[in-house]
Amino acid sequence: MRTFLFIGIVVGLLCAAPAAAQRPVTTDADRKTALDLFDQHKVIEALPLLEKLAADRPDDIVVQERLGVCLAGLISGLKDPEERKQAALRARAVLLRAKALGDNSELLQTILSSIPEDGVLPGFSSKGEVEEVMTAAEADFAKGNLDRAREQYAKALQLDPTLYHAALFAGDACYKQNKHADAGAWFAKAIQIDPNRETAYRYWGDSLMASGQMTEARAKFIEAVIAQPYDRTARTGLTQWASRNRVQFRVVQLKQLATVKTEGNQSTITIDPTNLGKPGISIAAASIVYGGTRIGWQRDKFKQMYPDEPTYRHSLKEEAEALDAVAAWVKSQRASDKTSTEPAVDPELAELVGIRDAGLLEAYILLFRPTAGIVQDYAAYRATNREKLIRFMDEFVVPRLRQ
């Protein structure tokens, strides 16, 4: 779920820590107390101790990360823009310190990516009254007044029915109170406002997982990925779900079949030499089929299919046609072999055939073989084929739990 929010911390905490000679030396017991308070969501109590620990122990990765998380949580509860900016810059500096020490956790990456380098964060709404209500709600949330916070979020949503974060944070307040059914209802409202944002799906998955509904949580975490597959944060819920249930994702891979380059009337297909000389229906042979299809797109087919685009790009249609040709070739080679034994097929090619026969080739490409050009086709495909994207994750990637 999101970072804990709180206010009421003295302004001095946003400034540099005092000199070592002016502060008491912290102990291991202090460290344990601070981390326990953080884990218990008592961040207001944890923050002053974390500040002292971070100053005393500048190389303690865990302390630096926890302090950065706490400071990041302060931001939304501040009304003054300059105070917000300074809080954001301080939080970012502490998180970068933790990263420099070797912290590469999902928590750090997620929060750090949400803080701009200049520290200027957008508000919740351009409407003054709505922004005021949301800021008050954040303050109540930070103080632990969750019922009051939820009422304020609901009020903000009444004032602006399109305010995604109002519904999202109302659900988060319910989640913190272990009111998981109520949380789900709020998350559903957020999804209705914007089904192409991953956060509400992921929060809903967290809530379902906390209540022991693992199959239902799996479905929401998959939907989070489909909402924003190229956002690293979208996959964190699914990763945590897999770890919690001690399962591993099925890795869907297909080696780079060939590199294709066309300049004028000259085209080249470059095959990975490690794939050459292998018997049976191999990657090397499939690369010729793949490359030949793509040459046609690079020469003239892209212009025919996308007359409004001025320059060539690697598109979903091109990759799908090329891989479809490969899958069809593999099947034809199997059928034409007249020997008594089944011809050896590269396992990755066999899996490609299975994906193609399931009608999920485009979903596979968009989720596991995206290039800069292919990514441009995702939103349009998702608009009409969301269920295929979900099916691919369900059938080929995320193991189902035994009932």
Residue identified by tokens 């290039």 is 371
Query: Are residues 204 and 187 in contact, defined by beta-carbon separation less than 8 angstroms?
Result: yes
Q: Which of 266, 193, 267, 200 is nearest to 228 (CA)?
A: 200
Residue 42 CB coordination number (10 Å)? 15
- Distance from the first to the final alpha carbon of the chain: 27
- Residue 318 parent element (H or E): helix 316-336
Q: What distance in Å separates the CA atoms of residue 100 and residue 61, rounded to the nearest whole number?
A: 9
pLDDT for 6 = 38
For β-strands 266-270 and 259-263, DSSP reports them as: antiparallel
Q: What distance in Å separates the CA atoms of residue 273 and residue 256, rounded to the nearest whole number?
A: 12
Q: Alpha-carbon torsion 240, 242, 246, 250, what sign?
A: negative
Beta strands per DSSP E along 156-213 = none
Residue identified by tokens 């685009």 is 309
Tens place of pLDDT per residue across the chain (403 aa): 664 443 333 333 333 344 444 555 789 999 999 998 888 767 778 889 999 999 999 999 999 999 998 888 777 667 777 887 888 899 999 999 999 999 988 788 888 888 888 888 777 888 889 999 998 898 888 778 899 999 999 999 999 999 999 999 999 999 999 999 999 999 999 999 999 999 999 999 999 999 999 999 999 999 999 999 998 889 999 999 999 999 999 887 787 787 888 888 888 888 877 666 566 677 788 888 999 999 999 999 999 999 999 999 999 999 999 999 999 999 888 777 655 455 677 888 889 999 999 999 999 999 999 999 999 999 999 999 999 999 999 999 999 998 6
Q: What distance in Å separates the CA atoms of residue 169 and residue 154, rounded to the nearest whole number?
A: 9
